[in-house]
Amino acid sequence: MDKVSRATSSAKLLLDARDVDGACNSAYYAMFDAAGAALIWSGAPVDATGAKTHSGLISAFSLRVVKTGLLPVELGRTLNRAAEIRLVADYTGDEVTLDNARWAVEQAMAFVDAVRRRLESPRTDPADGAV
């Protein structure tokens, strides 16, 4: 989560500097790494090969963390949208708006806060709710 904190801070700095592509990239990676931490914390079996790709980790996060109720569904949607914006920012050459960059940074902060709170709570077994 130290890496996540650095990425979130970088996203804010880049947004303040009006570097929308950089802000979107850093915001996404903060969320991506936080999702990875949530997967590890969940203790759910995850295919190591699939979790090494962006789509694989996002799918595993959805299946093992969101669909089991460990984190809200909205976080899964937010991660997917941030991934889409990051792809535009990093690869297409299309312009990402300042509003989209602001959204990505704000959502990254909320996503990271939600994951951090969950990681600080006792782990429960989704099958029986026991701690």
> What pLDDT digit, counting tens, does each position of 23-78 carry?
999 999 999 999 999 998 988 776 655 567 888 899 999 999 999 999 999 999 99
Helix (H/G/I), strand (E/B), else coil: 56:
helix
Cα separation, 71 vs 1, in Å, equals 17
Q: Please report, as a single letter, which amino acid is at residue 92.
A: T
Q: Where are the beta strands (DSSP E) in 43-130?
A: none
Would 104 be classed as within a structural domain? yes
Would 11 be classed as within a structural domain? yes
Would 89 be classed as within a structural domain? yes
Domain that holds residue 40: 2-119
Q: Give the end-to-end CA distance of the chain in Å, rounded to a whole number.
A: 23
Would 128 be classed as within a structural domain? no
Helix (H/G/I), strand (E/B), else coil: 43:
coil
Would 112 be classed as within a structural domain? yes
Q: What is the pLDDT of residue 94?
A: 87
Would 129 be classed as within a structural domain? no
Residue carrying structure tokens 């850093």? 26
Q: What is the pLDDT of residue 79?
A: 97
Would 34 be classed as within a structural domain? yes
Domains identified in the chain, total number:
1
pTM of the full structure: 0.87
Would 13 be classed as within a structural domain? yes
CATH of the domain at 90: 1.20.120.330
